[in-house]
Structure 1
Amino acid sequence: MSNLETDPAEVVADCTAPPPATGADAQADTVGAESAPAHPPIEILQPRDVPLGGPRAMTVRRTLPQRERSTIGAWCFLDHYGPDDVSATGGMRVPPHPHTGLQTVSWLFAGEIEHRDSVGSHAMVRPGELNLMTAGRGISHSEVSTPATTALHGVQLWVALPDEARSMQPFFEHYESPVLHRDGAQIRVFMGELAGQSTDVAIFSPLVAAQLDLEPGAQLSLDLNPAFEHGVLVDAGPVTVGDAAVQASELAYLSPGRTEITLTTDATARVILIGGTPLGEQLIMWWNFVGRSHDEVVGFREAWQRDVIDEVDASGRFGHVADYDGTPLPAPALPNVRLRPRR
């Protein structure tokens, strides 16, 4: 799932360091200095509904980016969708569209999506299997739910590439995540390392991503990298994250410094855990582009419109998606003002 908004928000994300503690957070740090180490309270980020496309389009629940927090480590985008009745919405049909400066992370709980891209990849997205597309300097791809799919349910995430990696040639990876059984839970690590599991897919800054399925009454404790900030998205819940009750579709934010976290639930639950070190760079995000300046993003849009939509150069920055039955997606109109910083 990519960003199909017709009027996408402009976001400048400052990933140089975690924001300083204020108010209750600062008070918690002061108390912790006098006794045991303490952490700022867990922050609960609420989703916003975003319709993708026309009147029968799917609606996703977006928790990154938003005004309160634009990134968690290098994770800069998180859409959560479903269970979506394909007979009512028509499923997913996303025409070829561009990306720059990021990795798209496609992860399903139910359903099947056909992926095609401009480097020649043709793969299915299925539950428990990661489709990871590294856009680098530029790529285009399409995503279409298969005819056998009756329900779609999953997440789409983006990872911002650091400056030294964002101009590389694009490529695609597929990875089947093994299942680890522990303390009434199933753990599937699909990026980075957690609970003794690691993956061999390409990452360009320290990060982690995993699906955690909890049985009723489970209490799962996990060691965390204290250099990471983390997010826990609840797909099915509620789940208690540390001392915070987190409802379905909410995203719990955990600041750096934590060495462990405990998840508990009274019912069957599922969460996605993400984390990473702050990227240390300022990002410009608009539509499906991640860049470093307003002018750079304008250039990305111009190249897409010229080379692909106007069919000037199919071998240009974004290439061509073969065997897609339809036309590429035009970029939305740019705003009349330059990008404005947001926290």
Structure 2
Amino acid sequence: MSDLETRPVPGVIGGTAAASARPVLEQLPVKEVRLGESKALRLLPTLGRRMVGAWCFLDHYGPDDIADAPGMQVAPHPHIGLQTVSWLHAGNVLHRDSLGSLQTIRPGELGLMTAGRGIAHSEESPVPHDPVLHGAQLWVALPDGHRHTAPDFSHHADLPVITAPGVRATVFLGELDGVLSPGRVFSPITGADLSLDSGARTGLPLEPDFEYAVLTMSGDVRVADAEAPVGRLVYLGSGRDVLPLEALSPARVLLLGGVPFEERLVMWWNFVARTGEEIAAAREAWMTGDSLGVVHGYSGPRIPAPELPPVPLKSRGRER
């Protein structure tokens, strides 16, 4: 998925100085953004919290009634230096990319695209499509040793599940409680979808050296005895080995975590890099040629890159 803002704000992100070394409970600010003809809630990056582990971007969209609408229509656009994770609770999305991938992604299935040194893709609600669209789009920053890896796309319909009374946790990326997702990762990370019955209580096992956040996608949930409102990302910090969860109604929650990302990054538009010069080169490559890939089969033009800001994009290096 693309960051469709026409004037994206560059950000220097990452570094362990941005991670809390202790447990916290912090509701993060949220921003409403356009997603084609629809709206989404931008939860990462946000004011005061740019990353959670290697997770560097999170949009929550829907649930939207698209029975008589085109639904998701995101034209071809490029990425470098990251992985994209498509995760649906309702609806279906057709993924195309410059590797020739053509895959419909459905609820509970992982669509994982590794941009590496460069890829282009599009996402659209197929014709016909399901009447409701609800999901999350996430990006994972690639560490320096892997950010120029060959691009790749994988689809996993069969994901591991952890069960407890009233709780079902689907591990869609990384590891949770010793259970591994089949999706390829490049840093220690957790991505899990929790389905809780009304009245369910559980203590979710965590890694103390990970930092975590939770997003309530639906329902009424308390996290560590605090409210976790629908559509808000609650940052938990690190230093926890158990996370108490209580569902006051049937609920769905995303758990995101990972080792605090030590590298400092420059993120602008759909690119994650280390310097402003790399960002400018990627933009030029997209605007003047096909070196970042061509998406065949999409009906319509590709998305042009926004203009770069008038000031240089600079990384300040890692801070502790």
User: TM-score, length-normalised on structure 2?
Assistant: 0.94
Paired positions, count = 315
Which residue of structure 2 aligns with residue 212 of structure 1?
A: 194
- Superposed, which structure 2 residues align to 1:12-91 within 5 Å? 12-19=12-19, 39-53=22-36, 57-87=37-67, 90-91=70-71
Alignment check: 8 A CA contact 2:15 2:264 kept: yes
SS at match of 1:192: strand
* Structure 1: gaps spanning 5 or more residues: 22-38, 308-313
The answer to whether residue 287 in structure 2 is matched with residue 327 in structure 1 is: no
- Which amino acid letter does the alignment assign opposite residue 150 of structure 2? Q
Which secondary structure state, in structure 1, belongs to the residue aligned with residue 284 of structure 2? helix
- Please give the residue correspondences for 1:92-103 in structure 2 after superposition, counting only pairs within 5 Å: 92-103=72-83
Distance (Å, rounded) in 1 between the aligned partners of 2:77 and 2:25 = 36
User: What residue is the counterpart of 1:33 in the other structure?
Assistant: none
Structure 2 runs not aligned, ≥5 long: none
Residue 302 of structure 1 aligns to which amino acid in structure 2?
Answer: E
Distance 1:180 1:260 in 2: 15
Q: Which amino acid aligns with 2:7?
A: D
Measure how far apart 1:341 and its partner are. 7.4
After TM superposition, the structure 1 = structure 2 runs for residues 1-343 of structure 1, keeping only pairs within 5 Å, are 1-19=1-19, 39-53=22-36, 57-87=37-67, 90-146=70-126, 147-176=128-157, 177-307=159-289, 314=290, 316=291, 318-339=292-313
CA distance in 1, matches of 2:187, 2:179: 18
Distance verdict in 2 for CA 1:224–1:190, change over 3 Å? same
Amino acid corresponding to residue 78 of structure 1 in structure 2:
L
**Alpha-carbon offset, residue 340 of structure 1:** 6.9
For 1:298 and 1:272, the matched residues in 2 are separated by 34
Cα deviation, residue 197, structure 1: 2.2
* Structure 2 CA distance for aligned equivalents of residues 323 and 58 of structure 1: 23
Deviations 1:83-104 (A, max 9, x none): 1121465311111100000000
Q: 1:263 to 1:7 in 2, by over 3 A?
A: same
Superposed displacement of residue 6, structure 1: 1.1
Alignment correspondent of 1:29:
none
TM-score in terms of structure 1 length:
0.88
RMSD: 1.8
Which of the pair is proportionally richer in strand?
2
Identical aligned residues as a percent: 50
One-letter amino acid of the structure 1 residue matched with residue 216 of structure 2:
V
Name segments (4+ residues, structure 1) moved above 6 Å: 340-343
Report the Cα distance in structure 2 between the residues aligned to 1:198 and 1:17, rounded to whole angstroms.
Answer: 29
